Chains A and B, each alone.
Chain A
Amino acid sequence: MTATRRTILALGASMAMAWPLTALASDPIRIGLLATFEGAFTALGEDGQRGAMAALAEFGAEAGGRPIEVIVASSTGAPDSALLAARRLVEQDGVSILVGPLSGSEGLAVRDYAREHPAVAFINGSSGAQDTTLRNPADNFYRFSTEGVQWMAGLGTYAYEERGYRTVAILGEDYSFPYSQVMGFMLEFCEAGGRVPAKFWVPIGTNDYSSVIAALPEDVDAIFVSLGGADAVNFLTQYQQSGGVAPLLAGSTTVDQTVLSAEGRLRTGLIGVASASPVAGTNDAPEWLEFVAAYRQQPGALAAPSLFAHAYYIGMKAALLAVEETGGDFGDNGENLHAALAGLEFVTPTGPVRLDHNRQAIADIFLTEIVEAEDGGLTSRIVRVTSGVNQTLGMDEAEFLAMGSPSRDNPSCE
C-alpha cells in the first residue's frame, strides 16, 4: 500500500488545496490502481492488486527513468463508486495512467469518464463487459486483458460435442459481465445445435440461493453458472448441500482461483466441471511459471494467481512498458503515451497480446477442466488452447454488431 503518506495533511488542509502540477523529469509518474476492496468482490480486488504489484516489482517501481508511484483506490463493484474513485485518482491525485476497474459495469462507467480526460491513459483492470470496447469505445481506454465473451471461446462447442450436452440452463449475476459470458458460451453452443430453455438472473451479492435452486429445471443436461467471488462460493455450497447433481459448466470467474481457494465443502462437486478462461492453473509455459513465482512474492498470495491477478498484472505491465517506451516523456497531452500504448505488443504469462482497432486485446484463451491439484487443492487443467481470440470470436464484425449487445435475453435459443 503505497498511499499512506501525505494524507493526514490532505484530510486537514483539503479545503485549501490547489497545488500546481508541473512535471519534472525526476518527478515520480503516478499510476492509479482502482480495484474492488468492498462487497462481494473483495477477494477478487485483493488478488488483482497482488497482480498489479507483481508487475510493479518486476520493474523495480521504475520505468522510463522515473520512479513509479502507485495510488490505490477502492470501489464496491457498483458503477457509481468506480466513478467516484476514478475521479479522485485523476482529478485529485493527478495520475497519468489509471489501471482498473475490476467489474463489468464499472468498466462501462470508467470508459465514459475517460472521455473527459483525454490526456490520461485508462487501462482496464479485469472488467469484462464486452461493450466497454466494442460499442462506442473511448480513444484513451485500453484493454490488454481479454473480456467476457472472448473468455468463453471453445466452451460451447466442447460442451455440445464432447460432453454431449444438448440442453443447458443458465444462472448468472444480473449485470453486463455475466451477459457477456453467457453470450460467449451460447454463440458456440447454439450454433452447434444446443438449446437454452431457461435463464436465471440474480442480483450481485445474493446470499440465499434456495429459491433459485428450487426453480432450476431438472430436465436439462447441465447448468451453466456465471457467478463471481462470494456469490459463486455461496451458490456452489448451497447447491451441493441441497443435493444438486446436474453437471455444471462454469463461467471464467466462477471456478477462478479466488473461488477454488475458498474454504469449505466445494471440492467434490467441482471436479470435472468444464470452463474457459484467460488463465489455467496447470499451464507449464515458462512465462506463466515465472509469473506464478513473482505473484507468490506478494503478501497473502493464493495457491495460484487468479484471472484478476493476471488481468491486473497485464494492465500494469502494459502501462509500465508504455512508460518505458516514452522514456518518461508523455508529451503535452499524453500523445507519446497513447501512441506507445496503441502500438504495444508483448508476451504475457499466457502468450502474446496485441490490440485491435478498438484498443481491445486479441489473445489466447484456455478451455479448462477442474481437477485435484498435487497439494490436494483444486486447480484448472488445460483441455485445449484457442489461439488469437478476438472480440467477435472470429465472426465478421458487422455481422456480430448486428446481433446487438449481450443482455438478459440476447442471445436466445430456446
Chain B
Amino acid sequence: MSAASPRPAAGRSLPAAAPPGDPSVGAHLGLAAALLLLPAVASGFILVQIGAQSLILGLLALSLMVLAGYGGMISLAQITVAGIAGYTVAILGENSVAVHGFGWPWWLTVPVAITFAALGAALIGWISVRTQGIYTIMITLAIATAMSLFAQQNYTLFNGFEGFAGIPAPTLFGQRLRAPMAFYYLCLGVAALCYVAVLYGARSTFGLGLQATRDNQRRMRALGFDTTAHKVFAWFLAGIIAGLAGVLLVWFQGRISPGTIGVAAAINILVIAVVGGLRHPIGPFLGAVVVVLIQTFATDVVGAARHNTLIGITFLVIVYFSPDGLLGLWSRFQGQFRQNPLRPGDGA
C-alpha cells in the first residue's frame, strides 16, 4: 500500500491479505485447524525443531515486519531485543553455569524480561528513527553487532562466549512446558496472539497513523501528528513481540550465548522476513518455515560442506522471481499485482 495508489476504504488499508471475496476468514480457519492438528501426525522433532522453531523465528520476523512493513523501518536489531529478554530470563531465573541465576519464578522473570526487551527496543528505535532507509539498517546492524560483541566480552553480566546454559522452561500444572507437544502449542498460542494483535493493530488508529507516516511523514507532521513518537511506540510494540520470541527462544534452546544474538542470527531474521514477504503478517511465518526446513535438511541434499550454498541459492531464487517474497508469489498466483510498500519510488 503506498500513498500513490488510490486508497480503498480505510478498513482495507492493510496491504494484501484480502483478495476479492475475502476468503481470508476461511483460509485462517483452515490454517488454524491444520496447525492445531499437526501434533497428531508429526514426531516430537518436527513439532519442536521445525514447528516451534519456525514459530519463534517467525515471531521475530513478525516484529521486523511490523517495523518494516507498516513503519518503513528495516531493523537488524530484533534479535538483539530478543536477546535482552533471553538474557534477562537466564540471569533472573535459573541456570546451570553458576553465574547469577537468582532463581526468580517464571511469572516474574517473563514480564520483567519482556518489559526490558520492549524498553530496549524503544531505546533502539529512539536512536534510529531520525534516520531512513539504509541508514536505519546500518544503525541497527551496528547496535546488534555491538551488543553481541559486548555480551561476548563481558563476563560479569553476560558470562562471555559461554553465555548461560541449563535454563529450564517452567512446569505448569504438572505439565513440562518444554515437552514437545506442550511447547509447540505454547509457541503456536503466542504466535497466534501476536499475529491477531498485529492484524488488529494495523487497522487501528495508531496503525493507520504509522502507515501514513511511512508513506508521507512530512504531511503527517503538518497534520499535527508526532511522527517520532509514533515510530518509537511502534518499536516498543515490536519489542514486545521480539521479547516474547526471546523468552521462547531461550526455553527452546535451554541456553543463550553471544552466538544466539550475533550478526548471522540478525541477518537470518531479515532473510526470513524477506523470503516470506513483508506485506502481511503471515509472510514472516511462511518465510520461517521455509528457512528452517532448508537449514535443517539442506545437509541431506547437498552434504554438510555445501549446505549454506543451497540456502543462499534458494534465497536468491525466491527474491529473484518475487521481490515480495513468498507472499508475492502467492498474489501472483492470484493474478494480482500489488505494490510493495518498501520499494523505493513507489510514491511516498
Taken residue by residue from 168 to 206, chain A's Cβ proximity to chain B (1 for < 8 Å, 0 otherwise) reads as 000000111000000000000000000000000001100
Taken residue by residue from 58 to 70, chain B's Cβ proximity to chain A (1 for < 8 Å, 0 otherwise) reads as 0000000000000
Q: Given A37, A76, A79, which contacts B305 in the complex, CB threshold below 8 Å? A: A37
Of the listed stretches A13-21, A245-253, A304-312, A347-355, name the one at the interface; the rest are far from the partner chain.
Answer: A13-21
Q: In chain B, what residue has the closest Cβ to A408?
A: B155
The DSSP consensus for interface residues of chain B is helix
A88–B43 Cα distance when bound, in Å, is: 12
Distance in Å from the Cβ of B53 to the closest Cβ of chain A? 8
A-B contact pairs, 5 of them (CB 8 A): A3-B299, A8-B301, A37-B305, A74-B305, A74-B307
Are the CB atoms of B304 and A74 closer together than 8 Å?
yes
B260 located at the interface, meaning its Cβ lies under 8 Å from any Cβ of chain A in the complex: yes
Residues of chain A with a CB closer than 8 A to B162's CB:
79, 105, 108, 175-176
Known: A72-B304, A79-B255, A109-B165. A203 touches B152 (CB 8 A): yes
Number of interface residues of A (CB under 8 A): 45
Are the CB atoms of B161 and A109 closer together than 8 Å?
no
A345 located at the interface, meaning its Cβ lies under 8 Å from any Cβ of chain B in the complex: no
Q: Given A7, A81, A88, A112, which contacts B259 in the complex, CB threshold below 8 Å? A: A81
A226–B32 Cα distance when bound, in Å, is: 53
A38–B308 Cα distance when bound, in Å, is: 8
A6 located at the interface, meaning its Cβ lies under 8 Å from any Cβ of chain B in the complex: yes
Are the CB atoms of B49 and A91 closer together than 8 Å?
yes
Binding site for B on A (CB under 8 A): 1, 3-8, 10-11, 14-19, 35, 37-38, 46, 49, 72-74, 76, 78-81, 83-84, 87-88, 91-92, 105, 108-109, 112, 174-176, 203-204, 407-408
B196 located at the interface, meaning its Cβ lies under 8 Å from any Cβ of chain A in the complex: no
Q: In chain A, what residue has the closest Cβ to B249?
A: A80
Distance in Å from the Cβ of A175 to the closest Cβ of chain B? 4
Taken residue by residue from 124 to 165, chain B's Cβ proximity to chain A (1 for < 8 Å, 0 otherwise) reads as 000000000000000000000000010011010000111101
A74–B297 Cα distance when bound, in Å, is: 11
Are the CB atoms of B161 and A17 closer together than 8 Å?
no
Residues of chain B with a CB closer than 8 A to A16's CB:
41-42
Distance in Å from the Cβ of B315 to the closest Cβ of chain A? 16
Are the CB atoms of B304 and A37 closer together than 8 Å?
yes
Q: Given B45, B259, B300, which contacts A79 in the complex, CB threshold below 8 Å? A: B259
Residues of chain B with a CB closer than 8 A to A84's CB:
49, 296
B248 located at the interface, meaning its Cβ lies under 8 Å from any Cβ of chain A in the complex: no
Known: A37-B304, A87-B49, A112-B165. A80 touches B296 (CB 8 A): no
Are the CB atoms of A3 and B305 closer together than 8 Å?
no
Residues of chain B with a CB closer than 8 A to A5's CB:
300
Q: Given B49, B160, B253, B299, which contacts A73 in the complex, CB threshold below 8 Å? A: B299
Q: In chain A, what residue has the closest Cβ to B34?
A: A15
Distance in Å from the Cβ of B298 to the closest Cβ of chain A? 9
Distance in Å from the Cβ of B150 to the closest Cβ of chain A? 11
Interface residues of B toward A: which range? 35 or more
A78–B161 Cα distance when bound, in Å, is: 9
B319 located at the interface, meaning its Cβ lies under 8 Å from any Cβ of chain A in the complex: no
Q: Given A1, A79, A87, A88, which contacts B163 in the complex, CB threshold below 8 Å? A: A79
Residues of chain B with a CB closer than 8 A to A176's CB:
161-162
A8–B301 Cα distance when bound, in Å, is: 7
Are the CB atoms of A7 and B303 closer together than 8 Å?
no
Known: A37-B304, A174-B153. A14 touches B259 (CB 8 A): no
Are the CB atoms of B149 and A72 closer together than 8 Å?
no
Are the CB atoms of B45 and A92 closer together than 8 Å?
yes
Known: A17-B42, A108-B162, A174-B161. A88 touches B301 (CB 8 A): no
A99–B246 Cα distance when bound, in Å, is: 30
Are the CB atoms of A4 and B293 closer together than 8 Å?
no
- Additional A-B contacts beyond A78-B260, A79-B165 (4; CB < 8 A): A79-B259, A80-B257, A92-B49, A204-B161
A76–B253 Cα distance when bound, in Å, is: 16
Residues of chain A with a CB closer than 8 A to B253's CB:
80, 83
B111 located at the interface, meaning its Cβ lies under 8 Å from any Cβ of chain A in the complex: no
Are the CB atoms of A3 and B300 closer together than 8 Å?
yes
B264 located at the interface, meaning its Cβ lies under 8 Å from any Cβ of chain A in the complex: yes
Are the CB atoms of B304 and A73 closer together than 8 Å?
yes
A8–B260 Cα distance when bound, in Å, is: 29
Are the CB atoms of A76 and B259 closer together than 8 Å?
yes
Are the CB atoms of B299 and A74 closer together than 8 Å?
yes
Residues of chain A with a CB closer than 8 A to B42's CB:
15-18
Q: In chain B, what residue has the closest Cβ to A91?
A: B45
A15–B308 Cα distance when bound, in Å, is: 22
Distance in Å from the Cβ of A69 to the closest Cβ of chain B? 12
Are the CB atoms of B49 and A175 closer together than 8 Å?
no
Are the CB atoms of A80 and B260 closer together than 8 Å?
yes
Are the CB atoms of A4 and B303 closer together than 8 Å?
yes
A256–B142 Cα distance when bound, in Å, is: 35
Residues of chain B with a CB closer than 8 A to A407's CB:
155
Distance in Å from the Cβ of B307 to the closest Cβ of chain A? 6
Are the CB atoms of B303 and A14 closer together than 8 Å?
no
A336–B41 Cα distance when bound, in Å, is: 33
Known: A73-B304, A88-B45, A174-B153. A112 touches B254 (CB 8 A): yes
Distance in Å from the Cβ of B347 to the closest Cβ of chain A? 39
Distance in Å from the Cβ of A343 to the closest Cβ of chain B? 29
Known: A3-B299, A7-B297, A74-B304. A17 touches B46 (CB 8 A): yes
Are the CB atoms of B49 and A72 closer together than 8 Å?
no
A83–B173 Cα distance when bound, in Å, is: 28
Are the CB atoms of A203 and B149 closer together than 8 Å?
yes
Are the CB atoms of A112 and B49 closer together than 8 Å?
no
Known: A78-B257, A80-B260, A87-B45. A11 touches B305 (CB 8 A): no
Are the CB atoms of A174 and B293 closer together than 8 Å?
no
B44 located at the interface, meaning its Cβ lies under 8 Å from any Cβ of chain A in the complex: yes
